[in-house]
Chains A and B, each alone.
Chain A
Amino acid sequence: MFDYATLKLIWWLLVGVLLIGFAIMDGHDMGVGTLLPFLGKDDTDRRVMINSVAPHWDGNQVWFITAGGAVFAAWPLVYATAFSGLYWALLLVLFALFFRPVGFEYRSKLPNPAWRKGWDWGLFAGSAVPALVFGVAFGNLFQGVPFDLDDSMRSSYSGSFWALLNPFALLCGVVSLSLLTLQGATFLSHRVEGPLQRRTILAARVCGVVLLVSFSLAGMWVARMEGYVLESIPDVRGVLTPLMKEVGRAPGGWFANFNNFPQLWIIPVLAYAGVGVVLASIGSGWTLLSFVASSVACVSVILTAGVALFPFVLPSSAHPAVSLTLWDSTSSELTLKVMLWAALIFTPIVVAYTSWAYRVMAGKITRDYIAANDKQLY
């Protein structure tokens, strides 16, 4: 059906689709969790916020789980090298995520205010920490990660956890946190009403502006940064390992793809347009439009980063030649084919029943609704 090189390219796109799916779907419930302690003035308000995502957050989180599984299946070396190297960063995300299933499920099972407040902060940590760390991780990709591979493909990591939290990476963390919080705020403004909705609109405006500023600053920083350039690689249709190529570094190297194919500039432009539409529409009652526009921003911001890094997936600052790229760190042709079939069959089914679930649960969540269904709701 496809040759090996095309399959490799398709899998780069599919991992991107999963990340984007994660940002749009899990992003909005993480955004709601991040806003929970700030916008929810009393217990009922906070329950309104929680119940706007209660039926869906678990399904949404599977985008994250599946992205992990897909990276394992399609890019085993990336899965192995990135997660063992960035050990404490990934563990931090996992520990934060632990708060979510129990936070949602247990919070309202007891009336004790301290119990509920505790879980509210748990839900906040479980939402804000991963949203921040994902950006920090992307920031470190641009700078290169200090790892090496020996000739048996065993990876070793020579950096520290604290070095990951450098100013550029933290700026990227602000991008991802404001992006996902914007996603949450636009979703909430669609699902709630009254004073809570007014606070949500304000939050969306703040997040939109923070996103525009941080995204622009990160772009300017990347323009001056030393990027990675693939200098030579054997035929990408063949079976490759990361030890077969030459990689150089050049200032502004991360802009090479945009400069070579200027039509790609449409992607970051769409990010600005998406946020612009959010800012223009958020107060006008076109709440669904705001959410869609915010989702467009999610797509464009992630694609902008992906296109800049292309074909690199995990650049190595310790030994640039062993950087992992989509051409030389993938699974075998058969595995990519089998997985492509699985993705082609199941992704539409997932999208179909997820949409159905949202339709079933559609409508505003109100304070009266919470009061009337006290025992049934989170």
Chain B
Amino acid sequence: MINETVVDLSRLQFAATALYHFLFVPLTLGLSWLLVIMEAAYVMSGKEIYKDMTRFWGKLYGINFALGVTTGITMEFQFGTNWAYYSHYVGDIFGAPLAIEGLMAFFLESTMVGLFFFGWNRLSKAGHLTVTTLMALGTNLSAVLILIANGWMQNPVGSAFNPVTMRMELTDFAALVFNPVAQSKFVHTVSAGYVTGSLFVLGISSWYLLKGQHVEFARRSFRIAAAFGLAGTASVIVLGDESGYSVGEAQHSKLAAIEAMWETEPAPAGFNLIAIPNEARQANDFELRIPYVLGLIATRSTTEVIPGIKEIREKNRQRIESGIQAAIALEGMRKNPQDEAARAAFMAHEKDLGYGLLVKKYVEDPRQATPEIIHKAAMDSVPRIAPLFWSFRVMVGLGVAMLALMVVAFWHSVKGSFQDKPWLLKWALYSIPMPWIAIEAGWLVAEYGRQPWTVFGVLPTHLSASSLSVESLWGSIAGFVGFYSLLLVAEMYLMFKYARLGPSVLHAKTA
């Protein structure tokens, strides 16, 4: 049996390293395009101030980028170190976008970032702008490929189980690339990065304006950030809705958990604005509902029914029973490849194999799965409600708050009246942490909401982990969190120091 503590600690380590990585990536995604816009303004207008803007925000970009690279190295190898069975079971599909990410995107980004910093005096204006653009392109291509890989975990298309090699194998590469979940996740995620970059520039520029420093520099930065930020926020919300639509199609359990919707109700279902979910009773102790809204968002129809948690668990219980037959037949086929009866039974139940594996959390041999065990596995098949319900609402609430800020900031930036509005500048300044909180909450919704699966409906999380010792895991978690935290302190220190120094640092003799 797989040690449950090892599985839990492996999940904790993955969550910690991924959440750390994602403190830095969104800012890189957004700032890179802002740098392109600023530098394009420099090349077209010839005004030095735009070059200063590109270089100063580029310095902050670099301080952030370094930790993005540092924490990113871990992600490329952690599937092997801590999720070995996952890597074997789905590497045939999941490894490809990761390797292509390296070849196609990460090389481009990392080569161009060097020329971005050191090529100012060696490249023509247009040449340097091209480098900056390729750098931003590389960063965003990276996100495409990572989200293709992640989209497959959410909605495993274009693949089939091979009983000889005991793993999932690729059957249709185009289906993997054009997975609708990956597409909407990509735009939603990079747009969240654009909002992060915009709010970062907007907030720091506001601070300069409040202090009356670098006024011309800050005014121009503010305007660019407000425009780009408004577009980004609108895109996050529209594509968030699109994600909601694909989540609804691919993963009813995630949607039902996000909404704390225990019972299936007549279409279109209502939306719980606030609820206090009670797992033991399988009901909400309190709820504040808006009728019809959820059904319209998730199904885009007035007639399609969204299944509630209880109905999903009941359906999953049936799939688990069918999947157990698949697992038993698979063992028969492995013992005797000529066993035609086992092959026929496997073919009949193959699509539920993943569900059958859910009982392996409780028994090694699926034959010994009692009705109680099957019931427990069915209960596991929907993630815990409260964390999902609340992190989703934090994400959406912050998204709406940022949209309001961006609308107002853009309005006043068009009117040219923002620099004498301290309330607006303070609002922007104190909103700087918002996108990070929203993004981390969004990660939780997407990945915690996928539980109990690493690959939805295919491979349970508890089977995916490496066979490591509890001591090793505590050691590595302490190592990662300790090391990353120290580096984060150094990063924040430099970030604050350079933000305070402002653009004058570009021309000063000593810092």
Contact = CB atoms under 8 A, between A and B. Distances in A.
A360 B77 contact: no
A98 B70 contact: yes
B363 interface: no
A38 to B, nearest CB: 25
Q: How large is the interface on A (under 10, 10 to 19, 20 to 34, 35 or more residues)?
A: 35 or more
A216 interface: no
A95 B84 contact: no
Contacts of B73: 61, 65, 94, 97-98
Interface string A33-51: 0000000000000000001
Q: How large is the interface on B (under 10, 10 to 19, 20 to 34, 35 or more residues)?
A: 35 or more
B122 A360 contact: yes
Interface of B, helix, strand, loop or mixed by DSSP? helix
A109 B96 CA distance: 38
B85 A65 contact: no
A91 B102 contact: no
A373 to B, nearest CB: 8
B115 A154 contact: no
Nearest to B467: A156
B84 A155 contact: yes
Interface in A37-76: 51, 54-59, 61-62, 65-66, 68-70, 72-74, 76
Given A91-B479, A102-B70, A59 B111 contact: yes
A83 B467 CA distance: 11
B167 A334 contact: no
A66 B63 contact: no
Contacts of A83: 77, 80-81, 84, 87
Contacts of B79: 72, 79
Interface in A319-338: 331-332, 334-335, 338
B290 interface: no
B101 interface: yes
Interface string B229-247: 0000000000000000000
Given A105-B63, A342-B104, A335 B169 contact: yes
Contacts of A350: 103, 107-108, 111
B368 interface: no
Given A106-B66, A335-B170, A79 B95 contact: yes
Interface stretch (B158-166, B277-285, B412-420): B158-166
B472 A88 contact: yes
Given A83-B77, A360-B122, A361-B115, A61 B110 contact: yes
B76 interface: yes
A338 B65 CA distance: 31
B490 interface: yes
A375 B62 CA distance: 14
A157 interface: yes
Contact of B69 (A54, A58, A239, A334): A58
Name, among B80, B123, B483, B498, the residue most crowded by chain A CB atoms within 10 Å (CB to CB): B80
A101 interface: yes
Nearest to A70: B99
B171 interface: yes
A339 interface: yes
Contacts of B92: 73, 76, 331-332, 335
A62 B77 CA distance: 13
Nearest to A338: B173
Name, among A72, A109, A151, A152, the residue most crowded by chain B CB atoms within 10 Å (CB to CB): A72
Contact of A72 (B87, B122, B479): B87
Contacts, number: 254
A55 to B, nearest CB: 3
Contact of B96 (A57, A61, A111, A338): A338
Contacts of A70: 99, 102
Contacts of A111: 510-511
Nearest to B473: A87
B509 to A, nearest CB: 8
Contacts of B470: none
A97 B74 CA distance: 10
A76 B107 contact: no
Contact of B487 (A74, A102, A154): A102
B120 interface: yes
Contacts of A214: none
A376 to B, nearest CB: 7
Given A335-B169, A354-B111, A110 B80 contact: no
B1 to A, nearest CB: 12
Nearest to A108: B511
A206 interface: no
A106 B490 contact: yes
B82 A84 contact: yes
Interface string B453-495: 0000000000000111000100010010001000100110010
B115 A55 contact: yes
A353 interface: yes
A54 B116 CA distance: 12
Nearest to A363: B122
B106 interface: yes
B169 A334 contact: yes
Nearest to B166: A153
B63 to A, nearest CB: 7
6 contacts: A54-B114, A56-B114, A73-B95, A80-B80, A87-B81, A353-B108
Given A154-B467, A338-B173, 18 more contacts: A68-B80, A69-B95, A73-B96, A79-B87, A80-B84, A80-B85, A83-B84, A90-B81, A106-B490, A109-B498, A152-B166, A332-B92, A334-B169, A334-B170, A342-B103, A360-B122, A374-B510, A375-B505
